[in-house]
Structure 1
Amino acid sequence: MTQLWRCAGLRWGDGVPVLAWEGGRCSGLERGKRVAFAVVAGGARSCVGARGHGCPARAGVPGRSTGARCEECARLDRAHSVAADTLADDPRPYRVYLAWFGPGMVKVGITAVGRGPARLLEQGAVTFSWLGRGPLMAARRTEELLRAALRVPDRIPYAGKRAVRAGLPPIGEREAELAELHTRALALHGWPESLERAPFRAVDHGAVFGFEGLPRTDGVVSELVAGGVVSGDVLAAAGPDLHLAAGRGVVVLDTRLMTGWALTTADRDDVTVPVREVGDAGAQEGLF
């Protein structure tokens, strides 16, 4: 009998990328590791539920959705997230950070102190520095201050992140760009009194992600389909993305597209799911 697997996403425990599977097993994703799986033929993608609970309707979801949730489960999941501003009474301390993804691509964000740098790894931040620490609402007000005064966004599209990974400037240059913005941020008036400011200390993830010598991307998987195959060797892993050396070139797989599908071992070395070539106009974004 064919064993089926259901992906629970790419995780960054202790700064090491692993694919988690329903049931608790994990697969390491070190560079050079062979990734090869097939989507069960005749199957359909189903909602992964919310907050650890399965979808009561077992609803179908589109192949291009990175959330893999139906509308109701997506609403429930977001209702309990910090990003939705619904947890004003959260007693945990938070950090404000600046994250660098490429030249001219810096964002501001917040994360719970207890999570350490996990949020930055999950986003694929190449370099980052803490800005301050304090209560949630003070951290949120500081985030809004930077967005308004310095026009620093709180989101960087993944298409932009992927486009620059193969040609990043040296560590010194990316740290210098981040340091300049950090200095400007600390000089702003209007910081909440309850937020303790942090000195600039850059942390670089380029080596952790495997970006040194990374070849340019030829294509990005746009969705998985029933009966489709993905096979390739891991060149780099950043955020939810795997850069794979496949038969058709370097292909990026957003592992969030794997959730909700029943997967099995691949019986051939190929990439047969839809892939958009980098540069296409108007395009949107253990088993092994």
Structure 2
Amino acid sequence: MAQVWTCSGLRWSPDGPVLVWAGGRCSALPRGKRIAFAVPEGSGRRCVGARGHACPVGAAVSGRSPGARCGECARLDRAHSVAADALAGDPRPYRVYLAWFGPGMVKVGITAVERADARLLEQGAVCFSRLGTGPLMAARRTEELLRAALQVPDRIPYAEKRAVRSVLPKTAAERAVEVRELHARAVALKGWPESLRPEPCQVTDLMGVFGLDEAPRPSGEVVELVPGGAVSGELAAVAGPDLHLAVHGRGGVVLDTRLMTGWELVPSAVEAGLRAVPVREFRRIPDGLF
């Protein structure tokens, strides 16, 4: 009988991306690695719990839910997050940043200084610049200032990020243009909290770190895993939680590893790419549009 694995998600370690499995074991994700797994027939997806605790009822969850949590566990997880302002007394310094994901897609966000660039890697930011550093609530007020004064969002859906990866500008200088322009407008705003220290614009480009500069153009994304389904492909890039796979007969396909959590998975010898797994095709964007 094949050994069953339960995926806990993707984590960006100092040595690169790894898949984390229940029990703490990690699998490195070097480019060129063969990714091949199947969902056993008759299995179901279960809530992964919250804040390190198992779901008390082992609730069933939708295959399309990236969080893999039931309503109650999702509320508990959200209630203790920085985004919910539940940690207002956190004494750690925080950093405000501008992150770029593709043409016309720049967001503002905050992260603890001690996390360095991990938050940007987790989000799949193609390039970014720090904007300022200070206490948590000062960072939060600066984030709100940019949203109100410059209409900069604090969130961009993953589906939109994936859809534009096939039309990213070729050079780092081109990719940095929107971040530099927005940074200049942001630091010129009045109303910055006095306790937040502005930082100069220094754009860090992660295109090569993710491997997107050499990956095949993605044609679509896996919508969900299903019992009896299987995925097999060669790992071409990893951006945020997404595996970019070179799949036989399909070219580039993106798999959000958050869709793997909550399922019991088994190794697969399938070499034919995708079996019984629904894929959403990306809307074609004409070359040269940007």
Match of 1:278 in 2: 282
Q: In structure 2, what residue type is equivalent to 1:236?
A: A
Check if 1:3 corresponds to 2:3.
Answer: yes
Check if 1:226 corresponds to 2:224.
Answer: no
8 Å Cα contact 2:217-2:251 kept in structure 1: no
Choose which of 251, 259, 262 in structure 1 pairs with 2:261.
Answer: 259
1:259 is paired with a residue whose SS is coil
Match of 2:288 in 1: none
Q: d(CA) in 1 for partners of 2:243 and 2:135?
A: 35
Q: d(CA) in 2 for partners of 1:217 and 1:175?
A: 22
TM-score, normalization by structure 2: 0.94
Q: d(CA) in 1 for partners of 2:43 and 2:157?
A: 30
- Give structure 2 stretches of 5+ with no counterpart: 285-290
Q: d(CA) in 2 for partners of 1:267 and 1:97?
A: 43
* Off by >3 Å, runs of 4+ in structure 1: none
When the two structures are aligned, how many residues end up with a matched partner? 280
Q: d(CA) in 2 for partners of 1:102 and 1:218?
A: 16
5 Å-filtered alignment, 1:41-190, equals 41-169=41-169, 170-190=171-191
Match of 2:208 in 1: 207
Match of 2:287 in 1: none
**Bigger mean CA deviation after superposition, 20-29 or 68-77:** 20-29
Deviation at 1:86, TM superposition (A): 1.7
8 Å Cα contact 2:47-2:61 kept in structure 1: yes
CA deviations 1:246-288 (Å, max 9, x no partner) are 12321110000000000001131231211112229xxxxxxxx
8 Å Cα contact 2:163-2:283 kept in structure 1: no
Q: CA RMSD in A?
A: 1.2
Q: d(CA) in 2 for partners of 1:240 and 1:37?
A: 17
Q: d(CA) in 1 for partners of 2:282 and 2:194?
A: 46
Q: In structure 2, what residue type is equivalent to 1:40?
A: P
8 Å Cα contact 1:15-1:208 kept in structure 2: no
Q: d(CA) in 1 for partners of 2:52 and 2:184?
A: 41
CA deviations 1:216-241 (Å, max 9, x no partner) are 21221000001110000011110000
Q: In structure 2, what residue type is equivalent to 1:200?
A: C
CA deviations 1:125-148 (Å, max 9, x no partner) are 011111111111100000000011
**Bigger mean CA deviation after superposition, 244-253 or 132-141:** 244-253
8 Å Cα contact 1:39-1:261 kept in structure 2: yes
Deviation at 1:15, TM superposition (A): 5.7
Match of 2:30 in 1: 30
TM-score, normalization by structure 1: 0.95
Q: d(CA) in 1 for partners of 2:97 and 2:52?
A: 28
The percentage of counterpart residues that share the same residue type is 69
CA deviations 1:145-173 (Å, max 9, x no partner) are 00111111011121221122223111001
